[in-house]
Amino acid sequence: MKRITLLGIVIATIFTFLFTSCNQINKAKMEKSKGITRSSFGTAGGKEVFLYTLINSKGTEVKITNFGGIVTSWISADKNGKNSSIVLGYDSLSGYLATHPYFGAIVGRYGNRIAKGKFLIDSIEYTLAINNGPNHLHGGVVGFDKAVWEPTVENDSVPSLLLSYLSKDGEEGYPGNLNVDVHYTLTDEDELKIEYSATTDKKTVVNLTNHSYFNLTGDVTNTILDHELQIDADHFTAVDSTLIPTGEITPVKGTPYDFTQPTKVGLRIDSVKGGYDHNYVFNKIDASLTKVASVSEQKSGRVLEVFTTEPGVQFYTGNFLDGTLKTSDGKAIQQHAALCLETQHFPDSPNEPTFPTTLLLPGQKFHSITVYKLSVIK
C-alpha cells in the first residue's frame, strides 16, 4: 500500500512539474510575441530606414517605418477570423519613394492646404512651395512624409515607438527650428494612439496629422462606399474650387455633408462634386480627448472609432485614386478604395483669423492626441 501511495505521489509530482513547465513556456511565448520588433527597410537619402512591428496581446499587428512615420499596415482579424490590413500601404520602401498620395504618413509642418502658399506672422510674409494647384499642401514638396525620423523603441507595458525630427528654420519656407516628436502606441484594446508634440525657437505655424487610408474590408478591390460613417459635427468649412476654405462655417443639416447619424459613405457622394474632401468642425467645445467619429463595415464586422483633442477632421474619400497605383501584390487602387479621417486644425487657418489658431510661439508646446480604436461586432 505504501509503495502504491509513493508511486502516486511521484506521478502527481511529475504531472504537476510538466503542467507548470508547459504553462511557463506558453506564457513566455505569449510575452515574447507581444511587443515590438525591428527589421531593415532600406535606405533613403543616405540614411538607414527601418520597419517596426508593434504586436499586442490579441495578435493585432501595426507596422510603422521611420521613413515619413508611415503606418504601412494594420493587420487584424475580422468577425470571421480572417486577418487582413485595414490600411493601404506597401511591403517595400520603393513604393513610398515613388509618388503616392501620403499613404499612412505623418504630414506637416502644416497638414492640409494653405492658400497660394503664403501667410503672415507679425506683418512678415512667408512663401511656401506650391504643390497642389495654386496652393500649398501637406508641408510642401519635401514634407514630413519624406523625412527619415529618428526612432526610439519604448517597449514597457505596451509597444510604443517614438519618432523625432528637427525641421530646420526655412525648411519648405517655414520659419523656426521645429523639434517634433510623434509617439505611436498600440494598446491591448486595439487602439492605435498617436501623440504629437513640437517646440519652436521662432514664431511659426503647425498642423500635424496622420494620413492613413482606411478600408475596413481589408481588400482594396472593395470600395468604401458601403462603409457607414458618423461624425459628431453639425458644421463644415465650405471651400472654393481649389478646396481652400471660404471662411464660412456651414451647417451640414439638409446637405449631402450630413453624417451626424450613421450614413453610408456612397449614399449621397454623387451630389458632392469630386467626392468628399472637406474639413468637419466638431461639436466639442474644448481640447479634451473626445470621441468624434466612427466607421463600420457590415461584412467584416469591423468598427473604427476616432478620438482626438483636435477641433476638426478632414474626411476624404480617395477621389484622386484612379487605378494607376497598385498594391504590393499587384491590385489596382481605384477611386474610393479607401477613406481618410485626418484629425486637424482647419485648412488655411493662418489666413483665417476666425479659425482656431495654428500659431506656435517660442516657449510654448504644441500637443495633440488622436486615437483610432478598432473593434469587431460578430
Which residues are known to be catalytic?
Answer: 211, 342
Q: Are 97 and 44 in contact (CB under 8 A)?
A: yes
Residue with cell 499612412: 104
Q: Are 205 and 109 in contact (CB under 8 A)?
A: yes
For 325, other C-beta atoms within 10 Å of its C-beta total 20
Instruction: Read off the C-alpha cell for 364.
Output: 510654448
Closest C-alpha among 350, 322, 351, 317 to residue 336:
317
Q: Are 366 and 208 a contacting pair, CB within 8 Å? A: yes
Question: Which residue type does 314 have?
Answer: Q
Rg from Cα positions in the chain: 23
337 DSSP assignment: S
Q: Which residues contact 294 (CB under 8 A, 6 or more apart)?
A: 229, 230, 262, 303, 304, 305, 306
336, three cell numbers: 474610393
Cell 531593415, residue located: 40
C-alpha cell at 339: 477613406
**What burial class does residue 96 get, using C-beta atoms within 10 Å of its C-beta: 0-12 exposed, 13-18 middle, 19+ buried?**
buried
Beta-ladder partners of 106: 210
The answer to whether residues 92 and 98 touch, using CB atoms and an 8 Å cutoff, is no
d(CA 310, CA 207): 10
Residue listed under C-alpha cell 495654386: 134
